[in-house]
Amino acid sequence: MSDPNETAEAERLNYPGRYQALASDSKDHIVCEKWKNYAIRSPYVKFMLESMKKLGCEVNIEKQLVCEPCSGKVLGGFDSRASQIVLCENTIYSPGCMKDVLTHELIHAYDHCRAHVDWQNIKHVACSEIRAASLSGDCFFWKENLARFNFGLKQHHQACVKERAIKSILCVMDVDENEARTAVESVFDSCFADTEPFDRIPP
């Protein structure tokens, strides 16, 4: 299990706007809000928002989906304490990126509502990161590997999910790569098979 104080320090570095008054570039913020409003109309994001509502955790778009400046290492994050999704206005680079980031973070929010995740427990974090990487579009084949003509689709997807989950853990927890990889491998089969609220991995 990660040290809560060290994990909090990682969060402070990645999401400085959560911990101090940080100047927001007005242009970046305006664009972020515009792309957010575009993303919430996309099918996957709409589905996730509806699924959250069915669980009794309806998302307040204005108060819980917030555009803020972040470090250069992350695109977004889920703040379980504030029940907010942070959308990094200085690193999200396109409307499509916004849609994927929002879907990814909504899966974390869904897990938090459904399963009462302990975000200090590396196996809990690994499970949610596996699901988010698999279901959000992070590892959709055409994005990750089409240019390499790698047609081992199922194997590629699983390998991509593992690597994405490991990288995400390293961003938010004070652990080394071996600890992150061990955690991902230990829960991978059950968490990868859990596609809720989707019936299957989205195409």
> Mind telling me the catalytic residues?
105
d(CA 156, CA 150): 8
The string over 64-99, giving b where at least 16 C-beta atoms fall within 10 Å of a residue's C-beta and e elsewhere, is: bbbbbbbbeebbbbbbeeeebbbbbbbbbeebebbb
- Whole-number Å distance between alpha carbons of 7 and 197: 28
**Cα 106 to Cα 111: distance, rounded to the nearest angstrom:** 8
Spatial contact of 105 and 78, defined as CB atoms under 8 Å apart: yes
Q: What is the DSSP string of 29-72?
A: HHHHHHHHHHHTTSHHHHHHHHHHHHTT----HHHHEEEE---T
